[in-house]
Amino acid sequence: MRLEPLYRLTFYYPEGWFVELEGDRGVESEHFFIAEGRCEGRVAGRFRGANHPHRRTDATYVPDFRGVIETDDGATIMVDLRGYGRAYPEPRRQVVAFCTHLASEDRYRWLNDVVCAICGEVQERRDDRVEIVLDVAELIWEPLAPPARDA
């Protein structure tokens, strides 16, 4: 297999809410964020979404992210993202994830059976706004090597 760059997604959360629960094993929380941003690359356009992540007691976020890309050429692409938002290293926390897409426009239907790998980070800007930057790459299937034969 190999990875082929697809797009860079940069977004922020203009609104968000959370509930924390403390117990014998630590503090965990549920969050709900509204996301706004943009994709640039082979897929380019406006991004909007909602993330309902769980924060574990080890401070790792587990996203449950659904969004939509309104492409610059007028198509609509749905996005479903899962993975981990790691609490380290400060201040640029790591994101490792995967996503799938769904599109009805002929020019983007090829995305409907593509699995994408994601690597990114949380970045604090000078204006105190936090942005999430994700590089999304198409995972390309390649034939497996034949099994080694015993001599």
Query: Is 42 within a domain?
Result: yes
Range of the domain at 98: 2-140
Write out the chain's pLDDT in tens, 151 residues: 999 999 999 999 999 999 999 999 899 999 999 999 999 999 999 999 999 999 999 999 999 999 999 999 999 999 999 999 998 888 779 999 999 999 999 999 999 999 999 999 999 887 888 999 999 999 999 999 999 887 6
pLDDT for 114 equals 97
> Whole-angstrom Cα distance, residue 42 to residue 44?
6
Q: Decide: 57 and 45 in contact? Cβ < 8 Å.
A: no
Give the C-alpha separation, 32 to 125, whole Å: 22
Residue 125 within a domain? yes
- Among 91, 90, 99, 142, smallest CA distance to 119 is for 99
pLDDT attached to residue 148: 87
> Per the domain annotation, does 70 fall within a domain?
yes
Query: What is the torsion angle, in degrees rounded to the nearest 10, for the CA atoms of residue 102, residue 106, residue 4 and residue 82?
Result: 0
pLDDT of residue 113: 97
**Is position 151 within any domain?**
no
Q: Are strands 64-71 and 94-103 parallel, antiparallel or unpaired?
A: unpaired
**20 falls within a domain:** yes
- Number of domains forming the structure of the chain: 1
DSSP 108: G
- The pTM of this model reads 0.92
Let me know if residue 148 belongs to a domain.
no
Residue 147 belongs to some domain of the structure: no
Q: Helix and strand tally (H, E) in the chain?
A: 0, 10
pLDDT for 88 equals: 85
Domain of 80, CATH number, reads 2.40.160.20
Tell me if residue 99 falls in helix, strand or coil.
strand
